[in-house]
Amino acid sequence: MEPGTLVYDPRTRRVGEYRGVAGPCAMLRPVGGGREWQADPALIRAATAEEKLSAGVRAANDRSRDGVLTASPLVDVGPPPEPVAGCATCAGLAERRAHARAAGDGSAETDADVLLDRHRRREHRARRLFRFVPFAIVQDPTALPEYQAHCVSGDDADCGATSGPCVAPGDVEEWQRGHTRDTGHTRYRRCFADYAVLERVELRS
């Protein structure tokens, strides 16, 4: 385990910063600084995100009470989650948070925030509603289609000559005949392009 890792000590029910070992014991330091304590290396484990958050806020509250809170908070906890209207679980957790806040118990208030946020993400995740709207794809009658041919004859490289956009296939074929007559090339890549629009189809009930 690397020094500086935040771990949870189940014996003391605290999150601490792993400092190293001293004989058979692991040495942990409180989050935010303080007196180190000894822990059983076989029992400690990496702290969860919720445990880290709770420990960071508790440390910030302790420092605030001591009058030495710096301008940069130890943990950026963001705005507290809001309950979803009509949800009994949300209302219960919000009430629990309010009681903790009134009692000045910052740790319990943070725990209620964590539980409320977890509940919101699990039960009230935003759901998107998709409505099927049928469309028909039709050729745009206001734009003429285009026909074009490219000469790809050649041993080492394509010839590269092109007919340019034409409004009728006969024009492209006439250009191919003339190019073959002048160069002897016989292989072409032909392209057709048109313009399409999507027209909404009204469904009959």
pLDDT digits over 71-84, tens only?
444 444 457 888 88
Average pLDDT on 45-69 reads 75
- Domains for the chain: give ranges and CATH numbers: 1-73 (2.30.30), 79-124 (no CATH), 135-200 (no CATH)
pLDDT in tens, 131-176: 677 888 888 888 888 999 999 998 878 898 999 999 888 999 999 9
- How many C-beta neighbours within 10 Å does residue 80 have? 14
pLDDT for 63 equals: 66
Q: What percent of the chain has pLDDT over 90?
A: 30
- How far does Cα 11 stand from its chain's mean position? 37
Quote the pTM value: 0.34
pLDDT for 64 equals: 63
- How many C-beta neighbours within 10 Å does residue 203 have? 8
Query: Tokens 């010839």 correspond to what residue?
Result: 159
- pLDDT category of residue 67 using cuts at 50, 70 and 90: low
pLDDT(128) > 80: no
Please provide the average confidence, as pLDDT, over all residues in the chain.
83
More confident residue, 66 or 196: 196
pLDDT for 32 equals: 78
pLDDT for 52 equals: 86
pLDDT(100) > 90: no
Average pLDDT on 22-37 reads 86
